[in-house]
Amino acid sequence: MERRHAAAYIVRRGYTDRLMKKIFFSRCMMGCSLLSLPFLLSAAGAIAFSQSGMERQARPLLLVVNQGDRDLSLIDPGAGKQMATVLVDGVTGHEVAASPDGTTAYVPIYGSAGVGKPGTDGSKISVIDLASHKIVHTIDFGHGVRPHCVIYDKNSGMLYVTTELDKTISIIDPKTLKIVGSVPTGQEQSHMLALSRDGSRGYTANVGPGTVSVLDMKARKTLAIIPVSTDTQRIAVSRDDSMVFTADQTKPQLAVIDTATNKLKTWVPLPSVGYGTATTLDGQWLLVALRTTHQVAVVDLRSMQVARTIDVAEGPTEILMNPDGKSAFVSCTRSKQVAEIDLGQWKMARLIDAGDAADGLAWAK
C-alpha cells in the first residue's frame, strides 16, 4: 500500500491506537528520505485532528440555566467541570433547550417574578450559539408573556414554549425563528410542558389552578383539563406514554394521571413535597426531587411506592437523564451545583459546580 493511501486509510478509519501509529511511522521511515518528513508531520497532524474531532463529537454538553447569575453554564459531564458561561441577556432565564445538532441553545427570559406573583413580565427568548458563546438572535413576543419551559420537538421540528400570561404554548419555527402559532391551555400559569414520544400530545402543569391541561399539539387545541390540587408543580410523562406525573405542592404526594382516560389514576405518597420528576430510560423508575429534605426519591413504577431516597445537595429542582441511561443529573438551586446520581448504585456520584440558583437542564449532543 502506498504511503499516502496508508495515511488516508488510518485517518478515515479513525485508528488511534499507539501501536498502529508506531507501526505506520516506523515503516514509512524505513522507506522514506528526509524529503518525506513534511508528509509524515502532515499525516500525524491529520490523525491528531481526527482524534480531537471525534472526541468533540462524542462528548455532549450539559446546559444549566443559573437564575441568580443570569447566565448559562456549559458543563463537560465527563470531566464534571464547567467549561464556560454565557450571559442570557435578561432577568431571568429559567429553562433551556438545545437544537438536535447541539449547536444552538434557546433560553426564554421569564421575568423577575415567581409564578403567579407580581414582577416583570418577560417577552423574549435568547438564541445562543454554543460554539462562540454568544447570543445570535432574540425572539420577541412583542408583549409580556412570561415564557418559561421550552422544548425542541424532533417530531415536528418546532420549538414549543409555555407563554403563561397568554394561557398558551407558543410555536416557533427554529429555522426562521418566527412565531408560527399557538396551542391554548385553557388555564393560567401553564408553567411546564411535557410531550408524548411522538409529539402528538402535550401536558402542562398549571401551577395556581392546580390542574393539568391535555393538549392536541397537531390540531392545536385543548382536549381536557384535569383537576389535581390547589397548587401543583412540574410534569413528566412515562416512557410508554401511559402515565403523566405532577407533584402536589400542598401535600407530600405525587399525582399519577392515566393518559388513556385523561383522569387522575392514583397518588404516590412521598417523604416530603415533591418537585421536578424524570423517568429512567428503562421506564422502571421515576426520580422525584424533594427540595426541603435535599433528596431525590426513587419511585418503583410497578408498585407505585418509593423504593429509596438519595441524598443530594440543597434545593434539588430539575432532573435530567443522561442519554447513556447510567446516570441522572439534578440541578440544586441553593447549593449552586448539579448532582450526578449513579443509577446503578443508587447514590450521588459527585457534585458539579454551576451557578447561583441553578435550575433548567438540557443536553447539547
User: What end-to-end distance do the CA atoms of the chain give, in Å?
Assistant: 37
Asked if residue 341 lies in contact with residue 316, where contact means CB atoms within 8 angstroms, the answer is no
Best CA proximity match to 329, nearest among 106, 104, 149, 63: 63
In tens, the pLDDT along 192-225 reads: 999 999 999 999 999 999 999 999 999 999 999 9
Q: Tell me what pLDDT residue 16 has.
A: 39
DSSP state of 114: P
Size of the chain in residues: 365
Sheet holding 232-237, edge to edge: 232-237, 243-248, 253-258, 263-269
Asked if residue 341 lies in contact with residue 332, where contact means CB atoms within 8 angstroms, the answer is no
All residues at 6 or more sequence positions from 134 whose CB lies less than 8 Å from its CB, including other chains = 86, 128
Q: Tell me what pLDDT residue 31 has.
A: 44
Asked if residue 217 lies in contact with residue 223, where contact means CB atoms within 8 angstroms, the answer is no
Sign of CA dihedral 222, 225, 226, 228: positive
Please tell me the pTM assigned to this model.
0.85
Task: Please tell me the distance from the alpha carbon of residue 321 to that of residue 327, in angstroms, as a whole number.
Answer: 6
Q: Tell me what pLDDT residue 97 has.
A: 98
In tens, the pLDDT along 21-56 reads: 443 344 444 444 433 444 444 444 444 433 433 344
Domains and CATH numbers, the chain: 89-227 (2.130.10.10)
> Which segments in the chain show pLDDT lower than 50?
1-58
Q: Tell me what pLDDT residue 66 has.
A: 98
Asked if residue 84 lies in contact with residue 133, where contact means CB atoms within 8 angstroms, the answer is yes
Best CA proximity match to 105, nearest among 84, 142, 133: 133
